[in-house]
Amino acid sequence: MQVYNTLSRRKEPFIPREPGRVRMYVCGPTTYNFIHLGNARALVVFDTIRRYLEYRGFRVFFVQNFTDIDDKIIKRAAEEGMDPQQLALKYIEAYFEDADRINIRRADVHPRVSDHIPEIIDLISTLLKQGFAYEVQGNVYFAVKQFPSYGKLSGRDINELRAGARVEPGEDKRDPLDFALWKRAKPGEHSWPSPWGEGRPGWHIECSAMALKYLGTEIDIHGGGSDLIFPHHENEIAQAEAATGRPFVRYWLHNGFITFKEEKMSKSLGNVFLLREVMDVYPPPAVRLFLLSTHYRNPLAYDPEYLQGFTRALDRLRSSWRLLSELLSRAEEAPAGTPEELRHLGSWEQQFTEAMDDDFNTARALALFFDLAHSIHSWGELRPLPPAEVWRKALSLWIAYNRVLGLFPERRWLPVVEAERGELTQELVELLLEIRQAARQRRDWQTADFIRNRLGELGVMLEDTPDKTRWYWK
């Protein structure tokens, strides 16, 4: 496996600290609003990377935090007349709702800043003791000039940074590059006790403290959006390595921006599309397909019309699964020899691994998934049908592709679909299809369309073919 390391600015062989195990930390959302497509890209990308590492046999311990203490949260809570912690909890719950819909797996640990104040205070105390930080009237700052390698992740020169920086009015920093580890509480502001008085953590210290607690030093992978490279991840390195004297992270991975009309998608620019609103219009698997359609390090342009195409493409994958399940039950046992179809399948399996081993190239992996779907439809038209061995191998490959790319929830893989929505059972769906078919034979298109539309609202999609009508869950 080769991964692009932001720290070295090149692809490197992926060698985790401990053979067979991967420790992975990804910066999660700041919980003052619903997540938008730009947030979702990072979350889907690193969920997919985690899935592929497990597919390759690694045991992955995955940590993704929630920032539930922040200036933005305090401001939003005041606007909504809520306690900041209640507001944060509201949006944490909303995050899980959205993540479940787009099939993002839960992390092994989802630490919250508010639950880790003691660890943060301990880390700040260590930095003070070792001379990397200083306290001024209840504020504690990291002294950047004490950390000579500052700027190594972003490739920025510290002297150039200092020339363009300034101390804001009311700040008491010694150097304009210094950043806050602990902020003195303002009157009426939610705060916690500390050796330096009532206050709250700065933004950067939280991830260093939580990553060190759960993963230790030399984390294998630390990920996030490319907008976090500087200053957030740069500051994380400075804090963690100054405190421990050891390398903090082996591989830094960063995904590219989503753009809309050639501008980065961000709340500050007011051009965001909330993930939940997009998923209310387009199927969540189609949204995930869109987010994985370009290599994760490249920018990804968004246009609502694009998702119409991805929705149609998704239907092709779904129908290949239903056809595959049907053909597997009809095919005869394999004769002697190796059918040509098996050689194709073996080649695609190898190519999929090669694509994902090359810095997690999901664009190429998805192309192979669609090649598989196309071939399933083509082979299904052959007479006689290819033998059962072909369909079993195709089934195994389809499941493997989907397990890594996460387009469809695993509970929907069963060839025989069990009841999933209240009293709606397989037998009832089949009965409705019989009624619909009778209506079509009578040319009663109004009734036939009504049944199709109502089933669609319940999550059942129909596919009319010359032989029969197939159905599957959204």
Residue type, 308: Q
Residue 231 contacts by C-beta under 8 Å, 6 or more apart in sequence?
179, 204
Residue 412 reports pLDDT greater than 70: no
Would you call 15 exposed, middle or buried from its count of C-beta atoms within 10 A (0-12, 13-18, 19+)? exposed
Pick 166 or 91 by higher pLDDT. 91
Nearest residue to 63 via CA among 11, 119, 106 = 106
* Percent of the chain with pLDDT strictly greater than 90: 65
State mean pLDDT over 431-459. 83
Give the mean model confidence (pLDDT) for residues 426-442. Answer: 82
Cα atoms in the 13 Å half-sphere on the side-chain side of 75:
5
Mean pLDDT of 451-463: 77
- Inform me whether the pLDDT recorded for 426 exceeds 70: no
pLDDT in tens, 32-79: 999 999 999 999 999 999 999 999 999 999 999 999 999 899 999 989
The pLDDT, as a whole number, for residue 304 is 86
Question: Angle between the 203-215 and 117-129 helix axes, to the nearest 10 degrees?
Answer: 100
Could you tell me which residue, 464 or 236, shows the higher pLDDT? 236
pLDDT at 248 over 50: yes
What is the reported pLDDT for 423?
Answer: 42
Query: What is the per-residue pLDDT for 29?
Result: 95
* Element (DSSP H or E) covering residue 462: strand 460-464
Q: What's residue 189's pLDDT?
A: 86
Residue 46 and residue 59: Cα distance in Å, rounded?
A: 15
**3-class secondary-structure state, position 382:** coil
Greater confidence (389 vs 256) lies with: 256
Name which residue leads in pLDDT, 213 or 328. Answer: 213
Question: Which of 102, 99, 31, 124 minimizes the C-alpha distance to 70?
Answer: 31
Q: Pairing state of beta strands 21-26 and 59-64?
A: parallel
Domains and CATH numbers, the chain: 2-300 (3.40.50.620), 315-411 (1.20.120), 426-473 (no CATH)
Task: Return the residue matching tokens 């496996």.
Answer: 1
> Residue 451: is its pLDDT beyond 60?
yes
Q: Write the pLDDT tens digit of every residue in 290-345.
A: 999 999 999 999 988 889 999 999 989 988 988 887 787 776 554 545 678 888 89
State the SS3 of 173-196.
Answer: CCCCCCEEEEEECCCCCCCECCCC
Question: 418 pLDDT exceeds 60?
Answer: no
* pLDDT recorded at residue 371: 95
Mean pLDDT, rounded, of the chain: 89
pLDDT band at residue 419 using 50, 70 and 90 as cut-offs: very low
Counts for the chain of helices (H) and strands (E), in that order? 15, 15
- According to the per-residue pLDDT averaged within each range, which of 52-56, 434-438, 464-468 is highest? 52-56
Evaluate if residue 168 carries a pLDDT over 50: yes
Percent of the chain with pLDDT over 70: 89
Q: What is the pLDDT of residues 80-106, one digit of tens each?
A: 999 999 999 999 999 999 999 999 999
pLDDT value of position 424: 45
b/e burial code for range 356-384 (CB count within 10 A of at least 16 → b) = bebbbbbebbbebbeebbebbeebbeeee
pTM score, two decimals? 0.85
